[in-house]
Amino acid sequence: MNAALRFKAAVEAGDIVGATEFFADDITFHSPVKFRPFEGIDTVRALFGVLQRTFEDFRYVGQYDGPDGHVLHFRTVVDGKQVEGIDLIELDADGRIGTFTVMIRPHSALTTVGEAVWAGLVADGVVS
Q: What is the pLDDT averaged over residues 31-36?
A: 90
Domain 3-122: CATH architecture, name and number where available:
Roll (3.10)
pTM summary value: 0.92
Rounded Cα–Cα distance for residues 43 and 13 (Å): 22
The amino acid that residue 2 corresponds to is: N
Residue 34 above 90 pLDDT?
Answer: no
The whole-chain average pLDDT of the chain stands at 93
Model confidence at 5, in pLDDT bands (50, 70, 90)?
very high
Q: Are strands 81-91 and 70-78 parallel, antiparallel or unpaired?
A: antiparallel
Instruction: State pLDDT tens for residues 59-70.
Output: 999 999 987 789
Instruction: Please state the φ and ψ torsions of residue 74, each to the nearest 5 degrees.
Output: -130, 165
Q: How many alpha carbons fall within 13 Å on the CB side of residue 34?
A: 19
